[in-house]
Amino acid sequence: MLLLYGATSVWAQGKGKISFSGTVQASETEGGGNSKITPLAYAVVSLPEIGVATTTDVKGRFEIQLSNPGKYKVEISSLGYEPLSQTIQLPARDSLKFTLKATSFYLENIVVSAESKKTGAATASKISKSAMEHIQATSLADIMSLLPGASTRTAEEIALKKVSTFSVRNGQSFGTAIIMDGAPLSNNANMQTLSLALGAGAGPSISTPNSGVDMRTITTNNIESVEVIRGIASAQYGDIASGAVIVNSKAGRTPLSIQLDVNPNVYMASVSHGVGLGRKAGVLNYGVDYTFAQYDPTEGYDTYNRVTGRVSYSNTVGKWSTNTSFNLFYTKDKAEPNPDDARDLDLMTQRDLGLRFNTNGSFNFNKNWLKNLKYTVSANYTNKKTYREEFATNSDWTYSTSKTDGAILSSMPGQDIYLADGTKITNIPDADKNGKAWRLPSDYTAIYNLYGKELNTFAQLSANFAGDLGRTHHRLIIGGEYRATGNLGEGKVFDPETPPRRSVNTNFTTQRERAFSDVPFMHQFSLFAEEYFSMDILRRKLEIVAGVRYDHIYNMDGGVAPRINASYDLIPEKLSVRGGYGITYKAPSLGYLYPDNAYFDILNFDNTTASGFSDAQKFQIATTHVYSAENPDLELAKTTKWEVGVDFKIGQVRGSVTYYEDKTRNGYMTSATFDTFKCVDYNQYSAAKPANETDMPELSLKSSDKILLQYSIPTNYFAYNSRGVEFDIDFGRINSIRTSFGLNGSWTQYKSWKNYYTFTNHTTGSSVAGSYPHMGVFEPGNKAEHSSSTTTNLRITHNIPRIGFVVTLTASVKWKEREYTTYGNDSIPVKYISRLDGQVYDFDASRIGEEEFQALDMRGRLDARRLIPESSMPPILCININLTKEIRNFMRISFFANNMFRSTPIWESKVYPGKYTRRNAKTFFFGAALSVKIR
């Protein structure tokens, strides 16, 4: 393709240059319908089909040199104004003038909902600043309520009570890319967890390791627009599995704006301003935001604080257009004990302090086929501190300071212990000369800190080529990128005397301190190429966007990801069909690549509670086992996606319908494997009372058994299928009643399962064999989670432009909602892991009644009702209202109420009578906002 482009460049040179020039002006609409027209400086004028753009000067003038005459699509945008898109013929006979209308609720067609858009032919929704202000979003996560078929956000989510991540089409939030100003916001360096060897949930619940970015940290006050790509994303986007959220921050001139948002749980205040620095000096834009949230105002001990600040500078100097920004953010999530509840002794805080640097721009050459070079460079640093304090009861477990496999220490540091025949019991490595092992008290206050210093760097460079070959138009993008992800934090820190509490489900597992800075950086290299191709066939337009991407992580295999989107006009401007297919790859997090070791401390001897021994004769002995939880076979998670759709326009009615299917067979999860069961010796000793108090007790071997130790490692065993239909219909505005109608919705089906064996047993007695039996191995995929729903959202928007008033009523109906679980053979194992040697053996089902295998028989421990699929819940209605009143272009007042009629019916399970579910739970919420602009 490049040879073809090069061969035709000589032909293009001979065509001569034409000038595309004109002026852009601003139209400010005030109350009463009056408008004021002024030149608009720093507006962006682009020709998206060839990738060429420029900005207007202080008098609103612009000029772009082109090689060929013809029809061009022109897009013009500026901060605080409604974007303009139209097709023009060049060269033009007359001087061109374009007018942008200031975004205002005085506009007749103000948009306060998500608009369907084909971003590079990918199915997407675009959400404007007006829409975000109308719903009074407290964080980026709130925009999810505007997507087709979305449910009403709960009070907990709006009030920022808990971690909120973004998921597209039921995909994993870990695979949803957040792209801000061309650079990803990655959570791959987040290691704020105790140990993946104990399972994914081991650790605090107010951070998001191995998950998506916490959307609470991203305020919408500094955002101009958002695009949510639900379909097959461009090959330019990597490290992605289930969609992308493209965030465009404010950049450009804008009046000084002061905004206050208040609801019963959240108080927000923000200031933003964009000022021109003079002729050819560029624009400086800045903003600050403060948020304080309490989910329950009567409980002042659970709060969330957020402070954000942003400064950006943008300018165009000759052929160079650039935008550079610095973002600072501080968040603190705090959950303190209830002072009125003596039983509540838990304290948990999460403090994040971050700095983001981003510079992006382009060199616009516009020479023949080479149009420009684009670059993006970013560096994100986040200092995280997690503090956890909890009162541990019945926690007299064994703990050792050793990190050496096979170490046997006693509670007397550095002292060897012998059997009566002189055989040494202890094994004290050189690194543990001062170490010890002991039994923790039954009740104590467990305290630990997690210190993370996350560093994510990103650089991308791409070249844009465009031109015509006969009747066909081509645009080619070729580029590469590099990502480095690391964590320089002190890591997991605690006092060994008060270590993190151990779960009762994890026999012998314990914790050790670990420095995150010891973890190597993850380096990712990527190359991509994508071509946009269009031509007319039978006077109908065919568009194809085809690309390929290669991602490679150092010390891991790479992946080739082809992607294609295509559309064809069956009836020009009336009816078109489209389809897409693509593969995406998601890199693992640092926590998945380099998990902490699995530590086990087994108590061999303890006479501290025995009578007849002096304090000097009482001690404990423990054996430590250490295993690496790294998985050398971990792969890039692969998702395959395809979709087909139709777009139509009948009169003023416009709409789109899309059917999609996404599937993953090697998603990330933590899981036990055959290799994570270890057979070890379990020796227990007894002591005879010494003749006098100065002698140490003589020990003898009381028993010696074999037991299995179990831990988890990161794997690719998570699998899911997601399919559904999305639709979005805009019925247009009925001018006689000043009302527009829109209907969107979705039908979804989702199934997820573990694509590997499961391991289960139960204890059968107090003996070693009964307490630590063989491990049952059950067939892969014997448990699958299913969910399905059908949802519609009818939005009725009434606006009176003359007085700047807009009210939106949303009727959200869940016509069908169902969740259930299906099971395979989960009662009798197909294999078992022997506690005697750790080997895997096929299991003969006829032996299930034998005493040796009683612990593997799950038949009597499973409820037969689990095999009955739960029925669908009946339809349910939730009505929301949003009001906005603008006062003479300098003040704006908004109000919203979700679930305004407080409909929260109770549904009773048909499978488990007496089990009730409160529907529309915690969706009733309301709030108000005041925005003032000083011009």
pLDDT higher than threshold 60 for residue 182: yes
Q: Of 759, 815, 757, which Cα lies nearest the Cα of 791?
A: 815
Q: Nearest to residue 777, comparing CAs of 823, 821, 848, 826?
A: 826
d(CA 125, CA 146): 9
Averaged pLDDT for residues 770-794? 94
- pLDDT band at residue 638 under the 50/70/90 scheme: very high
Please give the residue that has the higher pLDDT: either 111 or 2: 111
C-alpha–C-alpha distance, residues 647 and 121, integer Å: 12
- pLDDT value at residue 640: 97
- Band of pLDDT at residue 700, cut at 50, 70 and 90: very high
**For residue 637, what is the DSSP state?**
E
Q: Angle at Cα 218 formed by Cα 215 and Cα 219, nearest 5°?
A: 125
Q: Are 707 and 768 in contact (CB under 8 A)?
A: yes
Reported as a pLDDT band with limits 50, 70 and 90, residue 667 is: very high
Say if residues 246 and 229 touch (Cβ distance below 8 Å): yes
By DSSP bridging, strand 70-77 and strand 44-47 are antiparallel
**Which residue(s) pair with 302 in the sheet?**
335
Which residues lie closer than 8 Å to 318 by C-beta, 6 or more apart? none
Residue 331 is predicted with a pLDDT of: 96
pLDDT at 200: 47
Q: What span, in angstroms and rounded, lies between the C-alpha atoms of 263 and 254?
A: 27
Q: Coil, strand or helix: which one is 616?
A: helix
Least confident range from 177-191, 463-477, 647-661, 717-731: namely 463-477
Tokens describing residue 839: 């080997």
What does the pLDDT read at residue 7?
Answer: 36
Alpha-carbon gap, residue 356 to 324, rounded angstroms: 11
Judged against a pLDDT cut of 90, whether residue 722 lies above it is answered with: yes
| Residue 684 exposed, middle or buried by CB count within 10 Å (0-12, 13-18, 19+) | middle
Report DSSP state, residue 102: B
* pLDDT at residue 688, rounded to an integer: 86
Left, alpha or beta for 720 (phi > 0: left; psi -120 to 50: alpha)? beta
Query: Which three-class secondary structure state does DSSP give residue 631?
Result: coil
Please say if the pLDDT value at position 33 is more than 70.
Answer: no
Residue 604's pLDDT is 96
In this predicted model, which residue has the larger pLDDT, 882 or 888? Answer: 882
Mean pLDDT score, 116-144: 85
The mean-pLDDT minimum among 47-61, 200-214, 246-260, 592-606 falls in 200-214
pLDDT score for 690: 84
Report the DSSP pairing between strands 320-335 and 347-367: antiparallel
- For the chain, what percent of residues have pLDDT higher than 70? 96
Residue 188 pLDDT exceeds 60: yes
Beta bridge partners of 789: 748, 817
Q: How far apart are CA 807 and CA 879, in angstroms?
A: 13
Strand bridging mode 177-180 / 244-249: parallel
**Whose structure tokens read 């009946």?**
874
Whole-angstrom Cα distance, residue 589 to residue 552?
A: 14
Can you list the domains of the chain with their CATH numbers? Answer: 14-102 (2.60.40.1120)
N-terminal to C-terminal alpha carbon distance within the chain: 52
Chain Cα centroid distance, residue 49 = 31
Looking at residue 5, its pLDDT comes to 41
- Mean pLDDT throughout 424-451? 94
Residue 515 or residue 556, greater confidence:
515
pLDDT band at residue 322 using 50, 70 and 90 as cut-offs: very high
The torsion angles phi and psi of 718, rounded to 5 degrees, stand at: -80, 130
Percent of the chain topping pLDDT 90:
67
pLDDT at 668: 94
Window from 191-205, 270-284, 717-731 with minimum mean pLDDT: 191-205
Round to whole Å and give the CA distance between 281 and 69: 33
Residue 804 reports pLDDT greater than 60: yes
Of 7-16, 189-198, 572-581, where does the model show the most confidence?
A: 572-581
pLDDT given for residue 16 in this prediction: 52
pLDDT value at residue 19: 84
The predicted pLDDT at position 14 comes to 40
How confident is the model at residue 12, as a pLDDT?
A: 40
Task: Indicate whether 169 pLDDT > 80.
Answer: yes
pLDDT computed for residue 79 by the predictor: 86
pLDDT value at position 4?
A: 38
Least confident window among 170-179, 216-225, 708-717, 809-818: 170-179
Quote the pLDDT of residue 120.
52
pLDDT in tens, 131-168: 999 999 989 999 989 999 999 999 888 989 888 888 89
Q: What is the DSSP letter of 214?
A: -
- Average pLDDT for residues 811-830, to the nearest whole number? 94
pLDDT for res 495: 95
**Residues 63-71: what's their mean pLDDT?**
83
Query: What mean pLDDT value characterizes the chain?
Result: 90
- Categorize the per-residue pLDDT at 625 as very low, low, confident or very high, splitting at 50, 70 and 90: very high
